[in-house]
Every structure is written in structure tokens, then in C-alpha cells.
Structure 1
């Protein structure tokens, strides 16, 4: 192919991507190497072949490193699609628009099959689907999308928008359909926010969009309601205090009403028998009393009916 705008380049690159995935999985299925090792073996070989082919047959072609890695969206409108003397707009608009429509059509037609083959390949095979065929059809679409986007925006933005939006969506929902919509929304927000940030600070657009995608993911990672770092930390803290109250209730159940209760259950000495810090024991006792699990009588910590039920329930485990 002598024309760098030829669609055969996109098709050939997409097929090479599928070949790469196929070789990695074939090597991994031998069980002689792990998945990451298989990737490390296949990628350098194919990359080396590509370098040799460029040096042999395209030595005079100018490849700008910044454009390849970072991409330059500001230059995309200058590569025009001209038919019979009529300027129809940027080529990348038609390429990516066509790939977008193809992806939407592919997902709409095969959503159930893709979902089943991705999450339960055994069941998919049992009811007559071919998980392997569905998998490679999906990989073909991914490869075609990556190649088309790579030509317009560079590798960094392609990787950023293929990883950050889905990862953020995964932290926000467990429903696949909702995850797809949230992922698309995060990608759109990253593109718009990144563009205006680049415009404001006069920096690279693709790099700014990738940074915005990373910032959105970081925000979701910290604040996601169920899986965010803050939510997990709060849940762990709550479980710590809840477990401590259970331990206190079990301890009191074992010693309440016995001669040693004066030492084992006294508010000033119970921390020694549970091997706790005194201040920690006081906080646990206050929380347990607030929850109606214990009450104090002449300095002794005594179980309420609710506390006894909790201790007996804990003993069952």
C-alpha cells in the first residue's frame, strides 16, 4: 500500500492486532508460560518484525515520535476527505464515526451472546454458542477501534480511554448495561474537559484528555459509594468497632454472674483481660452501651437481653 490514507492500512493493522491476541492466547494455553510472560514474548517479536519492515520498505517515511505517541488532535482537521473536488470534512471524523456505528451495531445485535460468552463460556458452549468465535469477533472490534483511534489521536489517549472510563464505571455499578453507559459518559467528559483544559493552558490536547480521564478515575476511586477507597475505609472501621463490641459481649457472657466477675467485668479492668488499650476499651464500652448491648451497675459491665443474644449468636460461629 503506497497511500498512507488507504483503508487497507487500518484493516491490516486490525488483523495484526487480532493475530497478536491469538498468538498470546495460544502460547498461554500451552501452560508453559504465564499470560504476562506470553505477552512479553509475542509483542517484542512482532514489534521487531514491524521495525524491520519499516526499515526495509518504508525507510523514507517520516514518523514523528510526538505524533505517534501523544497524537495531535489539533492537526486532525487538516487531513480532509475530498470527493470529486468537494471537501466533506476531516477523514478521521468519518473513520471514527464509521467505527462507532459499527461498534454500536455489534453490541446491539450480539449483546446477550457477548455477555454470556464473556462471563460464562461453559454455559455459552452448552447452549450452542461458540465462545471462541464470539471472543475473536470482539477482539477484532477492539483491534479495529484501537487502530482507527491510534491514527487520529496517538497511543497514549487510546490506552487511557480504553482503561480509565471502564475502570471507573466498574467501581460505580455491577450492571453491565449501566456500566457501558457510564463508561461512555466518562469518556465524553474526559474528552470535553481535556480539550478545554488544553485550550486554557495551551498544552497537548491528547495528553490533557488522558490526564482528565485519570483524574476522573482517581475521583471515582476515592469516592465511589460501595467500592471507593473512602467507603471501604469507613466500612472497615465500622466492622472493627462492631467486632470489638461482639468480643466484649462474649467476654461478659462467659464471666457475668461468676465470682471472678468483679475483676473480669469491671469497667476499669476489663481492658486487661481482653488485651486492649484502656482508652480503646472505654470507647467500645460506650458504643456498646449506646447500642443497648450493655449497662453499668456499681462499676460492672453487664449484658442486656440484646447483648446476650448478640454474644450467643457470635458463639455459634
Structure 2
């Protein structure tokens, strides 16, 4: 495999591995927790390094996972006091633990390859140079295998505990009633997030981990309401972001990690604007339609209620109805023209009158509204 292909393959694996637990972080409204975890686990790595004096020890992952859980625990403990909000608690715990790690590194690990810049930004371009050799044979980049294993573990975790994750995410109280342990599932998910983050640290850095963990799930959330589809779309979006980001970096000769994070934002922005059901354009059109529909029904109801009254000419007069509805001339003219085109009203002797179809439509709409109010009560 060429180094270019290896870089893209690593990026895809990292993106998919991060997006899987990221789906549940987004659904649980814990997106910013990923930011905190991906930074504070550095303290776990540092402590584990001083305990083992090795950057290749598996205890670094254990230390990072434990620190991730500690981050969540401290945040929730502060939040449970009701003295600070969750985002404020994150803002306290995250800088505290991360700054301790930075101070320790700068003070006691200056000669060790544990650089804060690489932790934050990473450098995918160097990943192909860190090779895995088995029995004297080069079998590829280490990052490819380490993140591949983490990806498999994430897939297994979500597959095995999908039902538990789903019910705990959407209804923790029901999960407890059914015999599940929401706290256990919660901290298991946080452990998976921590392990995924530390696995991706050396290759892509914490900034891109956050982008991959939150960007694809949020993008997918705008495209579907089905949880299974959300997971698959999120993984696909993450993979596409990784590939397009690399191509962008290669073309403009810029940072690979930065380009992938940029592409994550661009893809999200495009979906945010043009998503078929939840996109900005669709939402604006839907609101405009609802506004016009409400206005048309309001006018029809007004005419329907005053039909046959002694004051009908005054209440429904083409020159006086504006005073009763408090609409602008342009808006009133637009609504009248739309209703005339659909054969719901006609004008006779400067009075707006209902057609048979318009009268039937107004009566049915009125009954639907009344029925809806009665059912809600």
C-alpha cells in the first residue's frame, strides 16, 4: 500500500471508530463531554507513563480510560449539587485536569516524546512511518491495527448492548424499571469514548477526534430519525469526511488533520442547509407554508363565521376586512389571490364570499381544530 492510501485508510477507520460512540453522545446531549474527555485523558496517559516509563505500554490506554471516567464522574458530581450547570461543571473540570497534565509534561517530561502539540493536532502524515513488524515482516502502520482493533471493539459494544444503549439514551427511568442499570451503561459508554480517544491521539490529535466524534453524528441526525440508520449514516459521513479532507490537504498542501476537520464542518453546513426534512431551506419553506396556510384558514374562518350576518358587508368587505385581520395590504392581497385561484372564495359587490368548496373546506378545517383541542384536553 502507498503511504497516501494508508493515511486515508487510517483516517477512515478513525472517523468510523469515533462516530459510533459519538452517536450516543449527541443523542444524550453530551457533545461537549467528548471535548472534555479527549483532553483530560492526557492526564491519565501522563500518570500511566510515569508508572510504566514506557509510551508503548497498554496501561496508557487503561490510565486514559480511567481518567475519562473520572472526568465524567467529577462533572456529574458538580452538576448534581445544583449549584453549577453541566456546561459550567465541564468548564471547571476539563481545564483543571488538562492543565495539570500540561504542567507535568512541561516540567518532568521535556525529553520524552510526549508532545502537547501532537496531542492536540496530531499528524496523520507521519502515521505510515510508525510500522508494525511481525517476525521481521512489515505488515503496515501500527495506527492501522490499533484503531482497527478499537473500531471492532466499538462495533461489538454497540451491537451487543444496542438495546440497552437505546433505552438508556431515550428513557433512563424506563430502563431502570426494566432492570437495566443506566449508570453502568453510561460509564461503559464513557469508557469506550475514552479508549477511542486515546487510540486516535497519536494519529490525528484530540481536535480531529472531537470533529469525528461529533460532526458525523450531528450531520446524520439531520438526515434520519431512525437510530440504526443514524449509526450507519454517521459512519459513512465520517469516512467521506476523512477521504475528502485528505484530498483537500493534498491539493492545497496544508494540514491533513485540519483539512479533515474543515471538511467535517463543510459537509455539516451543506446538510444543515439542504437536508430534505430538517434542512434550513426545507424548514424555511415549511414555516412559510404554515404561515400562509394559517392565514388562509383565518380568512376563511372569518368569512365563514360572518356569513349571512347583518354586518357581513362590513366584516367581509374587500376594503374593510383588513381592519379586522390587521394584515398589510400586500399580504391580504396575496392570500385573497391564492384563495381565488383555488376556488375557495369569490368577490361580489366588494364583498368576499365563500364558494361551495370554500365553505365545505372551512367547515371541515374548523371541525378538525375543535376535535384536536378536545382530544388534547
Q: Tell me, yes or no, whether TM beats 0.5.
A: yes
Tell me which residue corresponds to 1:240.
291
- Number of the residue aligned with 1:309: 363
Give the direction of change, closer, same or farther, for the CA distance of 1:300–1:131 in structure 2 (3 Å limit). same
Tell me how far apart the structure 1 counterparts of residues 321 and 135 of structure 2 sit (CA, whole Å): 91
Q: CA deviation at 1:38?
A: 1.1
Q: Deviations over 1:254-288 (max 9, x none)?
A: 33323332232222332233211112111111112
Deviation at 1:292, TM superposition (A): 3.3
Correspondence list, 1:155-174, <5 A: 155-174=206-225
Gapped regions of structure 1 (runs ≥ 5): none
CA distance in 2: counterparts of 1:192 and 1:103, whole angstroms: 21
Q: Are 1:61 and 2:109 an aligned pair? A: no
**Distance across 1 between alignment mates of 2:292 and 2:203:** 54
Deviation at residue 9 of structure 1 after TM alignment: 1.6
Structure 1 residue 43: deviation in Å? 1.6
User: Deviations 1:174-214 (Å, cap 9, x if unpaired)?
Assistant: 11000000000100110111111111111111111111111
Aligned residues between the structures: 317
Equivalent pair of 1:168/1:217 in contact (CA under 8 Å):
yes
Which residue pairs with 1:133 in the alignment? 184
TM-score by length of 2: 0.79
- 1:31 is aligned to 82
Q: Are 1:117 and 1:124, in contact at CA under 8 Å, matched by a contact in 2? A: yes
SS of residue in 2 equivalent to 1:89: strand
Larger mean Cα displacement after TM superposition, 85-94 or 173-182: 85-94
Partner Cα distance (1:134, 1:115) in 2: 10
The C-alpha deviation readout for 1:113-139, integer Å capped at 9, x for no partner, is 111112111111112111111111111
* Closer/same/farther in 2, CA of residues 124 and 75 from structure 1, 3 Å limit: same
State the partner residue of 1:207.
258
Counterpart-to-counterpart distance in 1, 2:363 and 2:332: 21
Equivalent positions of 1:84-123 (< 5 A) are: 84-123=135-174
Q: Which of residues 250, 256, 275 is equivalent to 2:307?
A: 256
- Aligned with 2:293: secondary structure? helix
Q: Partner of 1:182 in structure 2?
A: 233
* Equivalent pair of 1:113/1:134 in contact (CA under 8 Å): yes
Runs of 4+ in 1 over 4 A off after TM superposition: 62-66
Give the Å deviation of 1:311.
Answer: 6.4
Distance, in Å, in 1 between the alignment partners of 2:369 and 2:247 is 60
After superposition, the C-alpha distances for 1:144-164 in whole angstroms (9 at most, x for unaligned) are: 001111221012211111111
SS at match of 1:301: strand
Q: Does the 8 Å contact 1:292/1:306 carry over to 2?
A: no
Instruction: Please identify, of 210-219 and 261-270, the stretch whose mean Cα deviation from structure 2 is larger.
Output: 261-270
Deviates more, 1:55-64 or 1:194-203: 55-64
Question: Scaled by the length of structure 1, what TM-score is found?
Answer: 0.93
User: Which whole-Å CA distance do the structure 1 matches of 2:330 and 2:246 have between them?
Assistant: 53
- Give the alignment's Cα RMSD to 1 decimal: 1.9
Structure-2 separation of matches of 1:204 and 1:104: 29
